[in-house]
Every structure is written in C-alpha cells, then in structure tokens.
C-alpha cells in the first residue's frame, strides 16, 4: 500500500542504514526458492476488519520507521534506504514466505497478509529476525484491537504507537558487542543431510501441527529438561532414526554427525533493544560414528550443549568472528558483485552443509489479558530451508498450545511422521492442522 | 456489514470490491480495486521482472540508436557518403529489434520466432541490396535462414513437449543440426556450382550420428532420470 508518508524527521535526515552483520548474507544468497522470508501469523477469534488493519498498519509503520526501508546496492555493500513506504497489505496465496522483489526500487521489505480471521506479517531477514518482527506484530495487534473498539488497559511489553523511538532500536547489536582478539570458534565438520529428492518448484510445503503444552511440559519436566531441549532432542532422535533406516539401504554412509541449528534471541542475553537482526545459533549435535544414542542420552547431551552453547562468552566468540570477517579491509574493499559471488559460494560450500536441521523457537507469547482473550493462536512459518537441509521447523507457544510448523522442500514427509509419532507415543497429544 | 467471500475479511459498507483480491461485492458500479496488480506477494515479483525487462530494453535502445548515429556521422565525415555505416546501422537496428522481440514478448514463441525470421531476412535482403545487383539473397540467404529457423523451431517445440528434459533432447538437437547442415550444403552447392554434391555435411552427419546414438543409449538404457539442468548445474 503506497501513499501516506512516515513523518519521522531524523530518519529522513539519516537517509540510509548499513545492513547489520547477519543481514549481509541474505542479498547474496536469496532466490525465488531460498527466499529468506519468514511469517508470523496470529489467528483472531473474529474475522479481520480490513479498514482497521489498513489504519493500524499506517499507525504502526510510523512507530517502526526503520522498517520503512528498501534495499539499495552500493559499490561495496548493500544498504537500507529509507523510502517512506508503507508495507503492502495483500491476501495470502497458496505458498507462504514468497520471495520479495527486494532489489526493486523503493520496494518494502515486509508485508502484511490478511485472510479470514488471521493477520500474518512476512519479513525478509535482511530487515529483522523473529524477535524484531514479533515486537512489530504485537504493536500492530494492539493498535488494531484499539481501532476495533476494544479497551486494553495494561500495555506492558508492547511498543505503543505513541512511545518515543530510541536510537538503540536501530543499532547493529553485533557490532556493539564485538570484541577484538577473540579466539575463533572450533571449525565444524560437515553434517549429515536428509537424503530425500526435492519437490518441483515452487518447492515449499508446510505441515502445521498443534501440540498440547501442558502434557509436553509434564513429560519434559519428568526428564528434567525444558520444552526447547525436549523438542530439539526429538528432532535429533527422529533424524537418527532416518539415518539408521538409510544406512540399511545404503551401506556406505559417510557423514555421521547430526547437528541442529537453534537460533538464540540475543536480546535476552545481551542488553540491546535493537529491532534489527540480533540472533545467533547454538548447534547441538550427536556424532553417530560413536554409536547409536538412546532418547535419554540425547536429552542429556542436548541439555548440556544448549546451555553451554548459549553461554554469553561463547556467543560473543561467534559474534566476534562474524563481525571480524566484515571488518577485514580486504573484504571491505572488494566490489559488491565479487563479494556477493564469494558470499554465495562460501554459503553453498560451507554454511549450508554444517547442519542437518533448523529449529526456531519464538518462545512463549505473553500479552495483556485483554489482548489474549481476542486471540486464538499464533504460528510461525520458518524461512524455506536450503537444498541440503530440506526441512526446517519453527515453534511458538501461546496459552496451552504449542504450534510446530515444518517447512519442507523435499518429496518426503517421513521426517515429520517420525517426529510427531515420537511425541504421540510419549503420550503428548498432537493435532495435524489443515493448510488453509 | 459485508464480507469478501474470497478472503473472508470484513469490509466497509462503501466498498464495492475487496481491496485485497479485487472480488466485486456490491451491486453498484464496478470500480477498479486500489492495486489492480498487487493482490498477491508473487504479483510483485512478476511486476519486477517486467520492469527489469523494460529497463534493459530502454537502455539497449539508447545504446543502439547512439551507435547508429555515431556510425553514420563518422562515415559521413570520413567518406562524405554512406558506405560501411549502412551495414553497421542495419545490423545494430536488426539486433535491437530482435532484442525487443525477446524482451517484450516474453516467451511467446509464436511471436518471437516469426518476428526474428522476418527481421533477419530483411537485414540480409538489405545487405544484398546495398551492393546491387541483388544476387545471393534468394540463392543462399533466404533458404538457409528459413532452414535455420525451422531447425531451431523443431528443437524449441521438442523442448516444450518433452515430458522429461534429459540427454534425449540433446541427441535430437544433434540430429536436427545434421539435417540443417545437409540442407545448407544443398543450397550452397546449387548457388555456387549449380549442381548438388553432398560432401562436408555428410561427414558432419556421420560424425554426429554416433554421438546422438550414445546420448540416446545413455538416456534410455543407463541414466534415465538424469535431467539436463541437474547434470550440468554449475
């Protein structure tokens, strides 16, 4: 939706922003399939009122001016250019997380999708991560509810449209917490990947599931682990099952390391209020060259690895390595097209090979009670996985529901079957939802 | 209160069509929705591709016409008449028309192929016309160009109708190429010697035939299921 401008003088004066450290990867690797787009959906109890959404989007965009940007390309780096554009409000199509025409002039880098009783926001990772997008969605919902005549007294944890914009919301958190002379992290071996053939284009299919949180919590607590630790363990255990099945068929299986990429919201670890990308990964793994693991063994390993991996010193170590590359004078002076080719090649050769799966956890959604009463559920659709990983997984918890979505670009749903079957066999009720 | 039966959203009373999908709701005059071509996220990608093609076309237009002007002026300044620049200008113009056909009639092969044929034939005819009398165009230019287009059209049609794009297509393309060589030699011989004796094209054909057979064998007997795009991807 084009039209009304965003009246934020200081933003206009600044004119442009550097991409944050994580965002620098995406313009080089994104494509029609590997879109780098994720979606957060909120299902309301009543049908959406279009005019209220439109007004809420206009109001909210003024509060988040750093999202009203488009991608510009310079001689050495891509950058974000303030464009005073409002995001488009569109209707959903069959496949979620469709690519943005990010290199188009003045093209917004997020969109609002409306259908029946649900509002979705789709962000390209160049702009922000799940944490930043979710803050935006909360603010949008708050404004929408107020415009539709609902009174919301408690506003704790929500960025209100009238609240002042702070400089910290625009900062590059990675650069702020970069430490010189930090030893680089240990190099990772290549991980094993699901052996399935890819779907025909457009490849992405989403399997949605709803899991009873109380029962999951009860079982996780009985094993003395958190929900995330339990779900990551199920992920690794399901991968191990498939690995062993495949080993029966193909005798020569080489890579026996199963590794999951679990993004960590650094805003919870480091004192930053940034609304741009600020997350890193923890990489729990099991090495099947050492033997087959029982589920209890995996639980122990995952618990230990997630806790040590999310240790602040480890995070700063990874963060400093990433920012260190960006700061290298040689890399900085390379022209953009060479840099893009190099980033793309390195990603294809190394980055996409290092994990067997991805699990994003948006966490437990907490909203004022008046707002929660108007909401049915939340869902997160992960960014389409690369052709090595093939399946990614995203979860979000709201009240007593955990929504777990699988983004799959392969022809097999064997992994999802193993995953959900393990949960039901453990006594956790799972409902597979219809793709609307 | 009205709802769009497509999107299921509640709409204001005064709206005649859904701003999200364009679906007409009211009985009043049908008004154009706000963003005719921006209902779905993928619409923007298509729009972007269209814009990019138009930008390339405009830029190529500027470069081509600058080239024509430069060649003409240089020729006029040096020779005081139009000599070599006639060939250069015609080639540049024909190239730009070909590019226009490819860019603006995106993948409409039934327009692109005849359009390219007419452009190239006109260019060759003009080349012949610039050094009168007209002699080689009807003898060689016209038949060989038509033979080339027929060959290319056969390959394009095969590419489109083929259920599986593997080594089989490559083999058929080689066979079409050997056919084109034979036809070319027939017309060249007829024009130059007024008699037909198949020599070099026969060598080309017999050299290509085993390659095509090997490719067909690989496709149908050994690697059935190997797609060209996956096999040759860089």
Residue ranges of domains in chain A: 9-159+170-176, 205-433
Among B6, B11, B48, the residue with its CB nearest the CB of A50 is B11
**Are B101 and B116 in the same domain?**
yes
**Are B123 and B192 in the same domain?**
no
**Are B142 and B213 in the same domain?**
yes
- What is the strand order of the sheet A16-18 is part of? A16-18, A78-82, A69-73
Place of tokens 């994003």: A360
- Mutate which of A38, A50, A71 to test chain B, going by most B C-beta atoms within 10 A? A50
* Contact check, Cβ <8 Å, A99/B45: yes
Q: Omega before B133 cis (within 30°)?
A: yes
Q: For residue A15, what pLDDT is reported? A: 82
Least Cα distance to A87 among A68, A70, A101 occurs for A68
* B45 touching A (Cβ < 8 Å): yes
**Are B32 and B59 in the same domain?**
no
**Are B59 and B91 in the same domain?**
yes
B41 chain-A contacts, CB cut-off 8 A:
88, 90, 93, 98-100, 111, 113, 122
B47 chain-A contacts, CB cut-off 8 A:
101, 104
Are B116 and B94 within 8 A, CB to CB? Answer: no
And the tokens for A396? 């979000």
Grade residue A188 by pLDDT with cuts at 50, 70 and 90. confident
B42 chain-A contacts, CB cut-off 8 A:
93, 98-99
**Are B164 and B144 in the same domain?**
yes
Q: How many CB atoms neighbour CB B47 within 10 A?
A: 15
- DSSP type of residue A363: E
**Are B34 and B81 in the same domain?**
no
* pLDDT(A187) > 50: yes
* pLDDT(A4) > 70: no
Domains held by chain B: number: 3
Average pLDDT for B186-214: 92
A279 bridge partner residues: A265
A47 chain-B contacts, CB cut-off 8 A:
3, 8-10
Structural domain ending residue among the three candidates B9, B24, B39: B39
Q: Which fold has domain A9-159+170-176?
A: Chloramphenicol Acetyltransferase (3.30.559)
Could you read off the pLDDT of A58-98 as tens digits, one per residue?
A: 999 999 999 999 999 889 999 999 888 899 999 998 899 99
**Are B174 and B216 in the same domain?**
yes
Scanning A310-367, the segments in alpha helix (DSSP H) are 312-327, 329-333, 336-349
Buried b (16+ CB within 10 A) or exposed e, A385-404: bbebbbbbbbbbbbeebbbb
Rounded CA gap, A275 and A273, in Å? 7
- The pLDDT mean for chain B works out to 86
Could you read off the pLDDT of A216-247 as tens digits, one per residue?
A: 999 999 999 999 999 999 999 999 999 998 88
For A198, name the nearest residue in chain B, comparing CA atoms only: B230
* B171 touching A (Cβ < 8 Å): no
Rounded CA gap, B213 and B217, in Å? 6
Instruction: Give the lowest-confidence range in A140-144, A217-221, A247-251.
Output: A247-251
Residues 46-75, chain B: which have Cβ within 8 Å of A?
47-48, 51
Q: Which residues contact A183 (CB under 8 A, 6 or more apart)?
A: A317
| pTM of the predicted structure, to 2 decimals | 0.83
Backbone dihedral angles phi then psi of residue A359, each to the nearest 5 degrees: -130, 110
Q: Same CATH topology for A9-159+170-176 and A205-433?
A: yes
Tell me whether residue B149 is exposed, middle or buried, using C-beta atoms within 10 angstroms of its C-beta: 0 to 12, 13 to 18, 19 or more. Answer: middle
Average pLDDT for A265-277: 93
Q: For residue A49, what pLDDT is reported? A: 93
Among B18, B41, B51, the residue with its CB nearest the CB of A93 is B41
* B6 touching A (Cβ < 8 Å): yes
Instruction: Give the lowest-confidence range in A38-42, A253-257, A310-314, A372-376.
Output: A253-257
DSSP per-residue letters across B7-46: T--EE-TT-SB-TTT--B--SSPPPPPTTTT-SSHHHHHH
- The residue range of the domain holding B66 is 40-134
The proportion of chain A whose per-residue pLDDT surpasses 70, expressed as a percent, equals 95
Grade residue A250 by pLDDT with cuts at 50, 70 and 90. confident
Scanning A200-268, the segments in alpha helix (DSSP H) are 213-222, 227-249
Grade residue B31 by pLDDT with cuts at 50, 70 and 90. very low
Could you read off the pLDDT of A94-126 as tens digits, one per residue?
A: 899 999 999 998 899 999 999 999 999 999 999
Q: For residue A29, what pLDDT is reported? A: 93
Among B10, B11, B44, the residue with its CB nearest the CB of A101 is B44
Could you read off the pLDDT of B158-183 as tens digits, one per residue?
A: 888 887 778 888 999 999 999 999 99
- DSSP type of residue A21: T
Are A267 and A124 within 8 A, CB to CB? Answer: no
**Are B52 and B141 in the same domain?**
no
ipTM of the complex: 0.75
A54 chain-B contacts, CB cut-off 8 A:
19
User: How far off is chain A from B2, nearest CA to CA, in Å?
Assistant: 10
For B21, name the nearest residue in chain A, comparing CA atoms only: A91
- The CATH architecture to which A205-433 belongs is 2-Layer Sandwich (3.30)
Strands A375-381 and A37-44: antiparallel
* B9 touching A (Cβ < 8 Å): yes
* pLDDT(A1) > 80: no
Structural domain ending residue among the three candidates B68, B99, B134: B134
**Are B115 and B190 in the same domain?**
no
A203: left (phi over 0), alpha (psi -120 to 50) or beta: alpha
The proportion of chain A whose per-residue pLDDT surpasses 90, expressed as a percent, equals 72
Sign of CA pseudo-dihedral A98, A102, A104, A107 = positive
Q: For residue B32, what pLDDT is reported? A: 45
Q: Omega before A202 cis (within 30°)?
A: yes
- The pLDDT mean for chain A works out to 91
* Contact check, Cβ <8 Å, A101/B12: no
* Contact check, Cβ <8 Å, B44/A49: no
Among A51, A91, A98, the residue with its CB nearest the CB of B7 is A91
* Contact check, Cβ <8 Å, B41/A90: yes
- DSSP type of residue A42: E
Could you read off the pLDDT of B40-56 as tens digits, one per residue?
A: 888 888 888 999 999 99
Grade residue B222 by pLDDT with cuts at 50, 70 and 90. confident
For B38, name the nearest residue in chain A, comparing CA atoms only: A90
Place of tokens 């919902």: A141
Structural domain ending residue among the three candidates B100, B134, B168: B134
Are B101 and B116 within 8 A, CB to CB? Answer: yes
**Are B31 and B57 in the same domain?**
no
* Contact check, Cβ <8 Å, B20/A50: yes
Sign of CA pseudo-dihedral B164, B168, B174, B177 = negative
* B3 touching A (Cβ < 8 Å): yes
């Amino acid at each position: 939706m084009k039209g009304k401008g965003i009246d934020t003088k200081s933003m206009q004066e600044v004119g442009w922003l550097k991409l944050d450290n994580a965002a620098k990867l995406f313009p080089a690797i994104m494509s029609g399939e590997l879109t780098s787009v994720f979606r957060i959906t909120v299902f309301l109890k009543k049908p959406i009122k279009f005019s209220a959404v439109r007004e809420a989007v206009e109001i909210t965009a003024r509060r988040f001016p750093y999202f009203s940007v488009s991608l510009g390309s310079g001689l050495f780096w891509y950058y974000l250019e303030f464009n005073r554009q409002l995001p488009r409000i569109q209707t959903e199509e069959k496949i979620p997380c469709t690519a943005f025409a990010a290199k188009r002039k003045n093209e917004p880098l997020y969109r609002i999708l409306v259908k029946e009783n649900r509002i979705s926001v789709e962000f390209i990772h160049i702009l922000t991560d799940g944490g930043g997008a979710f803050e935006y969605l909360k603010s949008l919902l708050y404004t929408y509810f107020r415009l539709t005549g609902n009174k919301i007294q408690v506003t704790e944890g929500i960025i209100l449209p009238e609240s002042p914009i702070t400089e910290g919301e625009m900062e590059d958190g990675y650069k702020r917490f970069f430490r010189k002379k930090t030893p680089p992290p240990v190099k990772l071996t290549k991980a094993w990947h699901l052996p399935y053939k890819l779907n025909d284009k457009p490849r992405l299919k989403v399997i949605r599931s709803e899991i009873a949180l109380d029962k999951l919590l009860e079982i996780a607590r009985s094993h003395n682990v958190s929900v995330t630790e339990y779900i990551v363990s199920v992920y690794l255990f399901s991968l191990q099952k498939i690995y062993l099945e495949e080993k029966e068929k193909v005798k020569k299986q080489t890579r026996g390391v199963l590794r999951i990429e679990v993004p960590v919201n650094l805003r919870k670890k480091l004192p930053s209020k940034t609304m741009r990308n600020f997350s890193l990964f923890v990489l729990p793994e099991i090495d099947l060259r050492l033997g087959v693991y029982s589920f209890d063994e995996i639980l122990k390993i995952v618990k230990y690895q997630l806790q040590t991996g999310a240790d602040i010193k480890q995070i700063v170590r990874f963060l400093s390595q990433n920012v260190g590359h960006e700061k290298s004078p040689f890399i900085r002076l390379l022209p953009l097209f060479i840099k893009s080719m190099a980033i793309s090649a390195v990603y294809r050769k190394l980055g996409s090979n290092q994990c067997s799966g991805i699990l994003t956890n948006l966490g437990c959604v907490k909203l004022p009670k008046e707002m929660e009463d108007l909401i049915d559920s939340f869902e997160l659709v992960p960014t389409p996985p690369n052709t090595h990983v093939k399946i990614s997984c995203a979860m979000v918890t709201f009240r007593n529901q955990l929504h777990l979505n699988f983004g799959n670009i392969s022809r097999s749903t064997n992994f999802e079957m193993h995953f959900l079957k393990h949960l039901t066999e453990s006594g956790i009720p799972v409902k597979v939802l219809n793709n609307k | 209160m009205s709802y769009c039966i497509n999107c299921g959203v509640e709409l204001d009373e005064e709206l005649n069509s859904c701003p999200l999908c364009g679906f007409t709701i009211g009985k009043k005059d049908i008004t154009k929705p706000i963003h005719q071509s921006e209902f779905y996220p993928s619409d923007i990608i298509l729009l972007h591709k269209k814009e990019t093609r138009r930008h390339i076309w405009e830029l190529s237009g500027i470069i081509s016409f600058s080239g024509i002007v430069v060649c003409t002026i240089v020729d006029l300044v040096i020779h005081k008449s139009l000599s070599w620049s006639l060939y250069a200008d015609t080639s540049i113009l024909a190239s730009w028309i070909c590019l226009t056909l490819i860019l603006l009639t995106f993948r409409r092969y039934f327009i692109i192929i005849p359009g390219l044929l007419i452009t190239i034939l006109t260019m060759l005819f003009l080349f012949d016309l610039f050094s009168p009398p007209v002699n080689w165009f009807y003898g060689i230019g016209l038949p060989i160009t038509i033979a080339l287009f027929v060959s290319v059209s056969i390959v394009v049609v095969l590419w489109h109708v083929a259920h599986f794009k593997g080594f089989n297509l490559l083999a058929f393309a080689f066979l079409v190429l050997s056919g084109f060589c034979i036809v070319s030699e027939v017309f060249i011989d007829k024009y130059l010697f007024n008699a037909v004796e198949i020599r070099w094209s026969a060598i080309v054909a017999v050299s290509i035939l085993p390659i095509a057979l090997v490719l067909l064998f690989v496709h149908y007997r050994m690697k059935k299921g190997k797609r060209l795009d996956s096999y040759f991807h860089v």
